[in-house]
Amino acid sequence: MDNISNPYRYGNYVHIKGDTDEMITVKVIEIDGYFITGRDGEGNLYKRMIYTQVQGIPLTDTIFLKTKFEKISKSYSWFIEVNDRIFELQTYPGKPGLYYQDINHELKYVHQLQNLFICLTETELEINI
């Protein structure tokens, strides 16, 4: 097997293509090489989806409202307090994505935010998708 780079981890929320080509939101519950297994909000199991068929869920204001992040009024920033620390993400007019402090890495998808959040806070991001 080739050395692959799978951007997803257990607990990530992602989209998969359903039987009728609609996108279904699932939580990753198993990763096995090239394959991902997930469960949707109704408990349905989607087994062994090849990870290249899995898509990130775009970060939107609607998604942020499903977390404990709060929008800083009259700004382009969102923040959350975790373990007595403020975690803040910025957007820039005309530039897509979100950015965290000096980390020059664009966040475009929910799983990227979840992965950065757990690395920086050692806490899972609570999100109600």
Please tell me the total count of domains within the chain.
2
> Looking at 2-102, which runs of residues are DSSP E strands?
13-17, 23-32, 35-40, 45-50, 54-55, 70-71, 77-82, 85-92, 95-100
Give the CATH number, domain containing residue 40: 2.30.30
Same domain, 38 and 75: no
Domain that holds residue 47: 13-55
3-state secondary structure of 124: coil
pLDDT at 1: 37
* Amino acid (1-letter code) at residue 21: D
Question: What tens digit of pLDDT does each residue of 67-125 get?
Answer: 999 888 877 788 888 888 888 888 777 666 677 776 767 788 999 999 988 988 888 99
Dihedral sign of CA atoms 120, 59, 43, 4 in order: negative
pLDDT at 4: 45
Q: Is the pLDDT of residue 5 over 70?
A: no
Same domain, 80 and 51: no
Same domain, 79 and 114: yes
pLDDT at 6: 67
In a domain, 128, yes or no: no
Q: Is the pLDDT of residue 17 over 90?
A: no
Q: Is the pLDDT of residue 2 over 60?
A: no
pLDDT band at 34 (very low <50, low <70, confident <90, very high): confident
pLDDT at 72: 86
In a domain, 49, yes or no: yes
d(CA 30, CA 109): 19
The residue that leads in pLDDT, 38 or 20, is 38
Specify the pTM: 0.83
Q: Is the pLDDT of residue 28 over 90?
A: yes
